[in-house]
């Protein structure tokens, strides 16, 4: 059977089960005792709407595919032609190789070779680990394997599941974030930061999503004693899909899936850890500058409560 997402790597721990795929190092599914934590995409389909994909060397959108680094103007291919943007980096459709796969853990690796618009070599690994108590932990490491400095951002594109037969409309969402990055309607590029207080996009306290459409990055995140910021989605079945990010991720994009195909729309909540905001390579905001041999490491995780 031909599988568009390539080789499937299954991992398990107790009642926790996950499948990670070769293409884009995406997590295709993750469930606890048969209840989805992350909204899956089908085995016989491509990842839609970025489902589960790893986003390197930038997450979200890059205006006109253009940026400047160390005084040099650069142009990458436009991967979102209708909006004249480049989106979600350069590795989301590339094959990754399994560096390690055993029991509750799989490590996928890829080399991003120099190319027009991004003339740097990156060695990238994503470590997926399941624990019967802690759930899923995902550790992304990016090393500058070239001979000069390079700009780097990263993110990932999981969707929290609304639960069996449900849509996000009937779920209760909480994300303790004080600020939303507003975007224009035409190209979804950032145009300013606005407080969420008093708006329909304020989810600092748990509340039903209803019909509101969300596709925005949030920042100024409240964190717990371990430095984690949490997003929780409580389904109509009473179970809560939860996702945390460590301090390497100052931004979380929420997306209610309104532009997906009709049969896939609003079944899960895009909950995307990001090290930098939309259009970061162009603005320079929170882009990590890696010297040769330096690494960026960041972690996020998910579980069912």
Q: How far is CA 104 from the centre of its chain?
A: 21
Q: Is residue 2 part of a domain?
A: no
Residue 115 lies in a domain: yes
CA–CA separation, 278 and 194 (whole Å): 15
Phi, psi dihedrals of residue 273, rounded to the nearest 5°: -65, 135
The DSSP secondary-structure symbol of 80 reads B
Would 139 be classed as within a structural domain? yes
Count structural domains, the chain.
Answer: 1
Nearest partner of 231 among 154, 300, 131, judged by Cα: 300
Domain that holds residue 135: 8-304
Instruction: Flag whether 161 is in a domain.
Output: yes
Answer yes or no: is 164 within a domain: yes
Let me know if residue 3 belongs to a domain.
no
Tens-level pLDDT at each residue, the chain (305 residues): 899 999 999 999 999 999 999 999 999 999 999 999 999 999 999 999 999 999 999 999 999 999 999 999 999 999 999 999 999 999 999 999 999 999 999 999 999 999 999 999 999 999 999 999 999 999 999 999 999 999 999 999 999 999 999 999 999 999 999 999 999 999 999 999 999 999 999 999 999 999 999 999 999 999 999 999 999 999 999 999 999 999 999 999 999 999 999 999 999 999 999 999 999 999 999 999 999 999 999 999 999 99
Residue 186 maps to a domain:
yes
Domain CATH code at residue 200: 2.70.98.10
Structure tokens belonging to residue 281: 């390579």
* 53 falls within a domain: yes
């Amino acid at each position: 059977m031909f599988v568009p997402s390539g080789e499937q790597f299954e991992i398990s721990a107790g009642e926790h089960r996950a499948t990670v795929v070769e293409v884009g190092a995406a997590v295709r599914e993750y469930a606890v005792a048969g209840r989805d934590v992350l909204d899956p995409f089908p085995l016989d389909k491509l990842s839609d709407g970025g489902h589960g994909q790893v986003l390197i060397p930038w997450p979200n959108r890059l205006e006109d595919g253009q940026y400047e680094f160390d005084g040099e103007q650069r142009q990458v291919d436009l991967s979102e032609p209708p909006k004249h943007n480049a989106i979600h980096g350069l590795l989301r459709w590339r094959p990754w190789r399994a560096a390690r796969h055993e029991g509750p853990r799989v490590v996928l690796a890829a080399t991003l070779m120099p190319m027009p618009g991004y003339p740097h070599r990156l060695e990238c690994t994503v470590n997926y680990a399941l624990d019967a108590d802690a759930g899923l932990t995902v550790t992304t490491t990016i090393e500058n394997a070239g001979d000069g400095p390079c700009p780097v951002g990263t993110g990932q594109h999981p969707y929290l599941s609304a639960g069996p037969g449900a849509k996000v409309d009937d779920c209760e969402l909480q994300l303790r974030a004080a600020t939303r990055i507003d975007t224009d309607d035409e190209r979804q590029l950032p145009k300013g930061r606005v407080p969420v207080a008093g708006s329909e996009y304020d989810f600092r306290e748990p509340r039903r999503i209803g019909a509101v459409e969300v596709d925005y990055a949030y920042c100024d995140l409240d964190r717990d004693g371990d430095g984690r910021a949490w997003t929780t989605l409580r389904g109509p079945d009473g179970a809560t899909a939860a996702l945390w990010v460590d301090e390497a991720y100052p931004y979380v994009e929420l997306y209610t899936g309104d532009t997906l195909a009709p049969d896939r729309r609003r079944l899960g909540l895009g909950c995307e850890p990001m090290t930098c905001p939309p259009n970061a390579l162009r603005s320079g905001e929170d882009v990590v500058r890696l010297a040769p041999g330096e690494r960026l490491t960041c972690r996020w995780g998910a579980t069912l409560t």
